[in-house]
A and B are shown apart, each in its own frame.
Chain A
Amino acid sequence: MLLEEISEGDCLVVGLQETRLDAVIATSFRDALVERIDQGHRNIVLDLSQVGFMDSSGLGAVVYVMKHLGHKGRLHICGLTPAVMAVLKLTRMDRVLKTFESRQAAIAA
């Protein structure tokens, strides 16, 4: 699993460089993000613009990261493709995940 990581001020931008966020990589993806949080990162932007497919394992990993941050930090998600947004809407996760159209909007919010 390949992650792109860029620091923008106090914000850590993590870009998943995979076309599928599914059961195959969900655990390693979740663990990598949790490690960043445990290292002290509290302001995370997750860029999913390369992801064209997501299943409930991948979605569950994102939710786990959001809950791990809890109220002491924030997870903003950007670059959602129509396919991934369809899964978020089907599962109603679009109501709880904070999504933005662009990376810059996610950083600035």
Chain B
Amino acid sequence: MTVTEPLRLVVPATLVDARAATEKLMHLCDRFDAEDRALYGTAVMEWLVNVVKHSYRDAQGGHITICAVAGAEAIELIVEDTGRGIPPGKFEAAPAEVLFDSEDLAAVPESGMGLAIIKSVMDTVRYISDRGVNRLIAVRRWQR
């Protein structure tokens, strides 16, 4: 196994740039099988969209800093922003999987699945908001 150079991106906080950053990150993920690579990309996109829509509330001018290190055993991702962040306790309170009553059409969620997707895809994930910087640190092993 080899360790590749860290990928560092600073991108405007827009949905289009979130998509482009996700695509670049997915290029680092060739040690996943196709399904895990897709799920990892989805989880990354979930967080970047969360930053755009909720931390920056779609305001122009914000930036997102992304650093990813593809190590021998896992890929580590750090995402930083300087927006409002998410309300205290919300990240910790989010479920670790998407849960709903599949027999009840009205209960099927149309939104609010992002944090559960991130938690279920990543092996470890932490969110820290300190002195104006919001930071997500997520690690996912190549093999589970």
Contact = CB atoms under 8 A, between A and B. Distances in A.
Given A82-B35, A83-B38, A86-B38, A23 B15 contact: yes
A78 to B, nearest CB: 18
Given A23-B18, A24-B19, A90 B109 contact: no
A24 to B, nearest CB: 5
Nearest to A81: B38
B121 A24 contact: no
Interface residues of A, number: 30
A56 interface: yes
B16 A24 contact: yes
Contact of A86 (B19, B39, B98, B100): B39
Nearest to A63: B110
Contact of A56 (B15, B16, B36, B114): B114
A20 B45 CA distance: 12
Contacts of B111: 56-57, 60
A30 to B, nearest CB: 9
Nearest to A61: B110
Interface in A52-107: 52-57, 59-61, 63-64, 66-67, 70-71, 82-84, 86-87, 90-93, 95-96
Which range holds the interface residue count of chain B? 20 to 34
Given A22-B19, A57-B49, A63 B108 contact: yes
A92 B34 contact: no
Contact of B38 (A24, A53, A91): A53
Contacts of A20: 19
Q: Among the interface residues A20, A56, A95, which one has the most CB atoms of the partner chain B within 10 A?
A: A56
A92 B113 CA distance: 11
B38 A82 contact: yes
Nearest to B20: A24
B60 interface: no
Contact of B105 (A22, A60, A67, A93): A67
Given A22-B45, A22-B49, A92-B98, 6 more contacts: A55-B42, A57-B49, A57-B111, A86-B38, A90-B98, A96-B102
